Amino acid sequence: MPITAFDTQCIALHAEGASALVALHGAHVLSWIPADGRERLFLSKRTVFDGRAAIRGGIPVIFPQFGERGALRKHGFARNCGWRFMGVECGAAVFELRGDGDVHWPYPFVACLRIGLTATRLAVTLEIENTGDTAFAFTAALHTYLGVGDIAQVRVEGLQGCDYEDSANGGTLHRQSDYAVAFVDETDRIYSDVVAPLTLVDGAQRLGIEQQGFTDVVVWNPGARLASGIADLEAGDWQRFVCIEAAQAAQPVLLQAGEQWQGRQQLG
């Protein structure tokens, strides 16, 4: 996979006519353009690239805490840290973040993000290793922002029959009875025990989404009211993306000393 470095802050990946751009800040995938030339990810024009703030859009890496389900800052610290580019292994670009039980978190760990690219697919794999001598629990996600033409025309297929926690409605529990998820207002759902592939239907466009290792899928769009209070979104941006996240949110992973965990999301 050919690699291009941009001012040491971003790594560009190229394969089979497709491309991706990854920021070292957060090992954050900023862009994915398959060989057909159409950008598939949403990235806010208002996002601040200052090396400190989280990036709005693309694929943020959420670790070791999903949302506010713990004592850390929302969505943990991995998306705000500088990662190291380790090169290419087995056709995937590799990025690494190490923790030694410092101020961020009292547990030594190694987080590895592997990004594979073909003409039509993007595969992102998150690996967590407990390098300490004490077990720790964590939650995690790949908070993928997918660009769409008009959220009113978007459907997500493949979740029928799955139970979900409705975070936009006080965390109440429901079962998905409709064949497809549609978007008419704020949508923030954690679907549990998802095994079937998903399909994002965006007008006439369809995108396949698969995952392994992650047990949950988060579907999120802020809707007009919530989006109006998000400073790094432009007016109307909420109509141009939907987040479909491979997640381990409802049930934390307990990782014993020396153990490893892996979760993967594949788009395309």
Between the CA atoms of 53, 59, 62 and 68, what dihedral angle is there, to the nearest 10 degrees? 70
Please, which residues have CB within 8 angstroms of residue 259's CB and are 6 or more apart in sequence? 129, 130
Catalytic residue among 75, 104, 165, 245: 245
Q: For residue 107, give the DSSP letter.
A: S
**What is the distance between the alpha carbons of residues 73 and 161, in angstroms, rounded to a whole number?**
33
Rounded (10°) CA dihedral 232, 74, 87, 109: 170
Residue 39: active-site member: no
Residue 76 has what DSSP assignment? Answer: B
CB < 8 Å & 24+ apart, contacts of 5-10? 5/85
Q: Which entry of 28, 75, 104, 143 is annotated as an active-site residue?
A: 143
Contact 214, 192 (CB under 8 A): no
3-state secondary structure of 257: coil
Question: Is the Cα dihedral 103, 93, 55, 62 positive or negative?
Answer: negative
Cβ burial of 241 (10 Å; 0-12, 13-18, 19+) is buried
Q: Is 143 a catalytic residue?
A: yes
Using CA atoms, how far residue 239 sits from 94, 119, 175, 185, 232, in Å, is 33, 27, 25, 10, 15
Task: Please report which helix (H) or strand (E) contains residue 224, including its range.
Answer: helix 223-227
Task: List the catalytic residues.
Answer: 143, 245
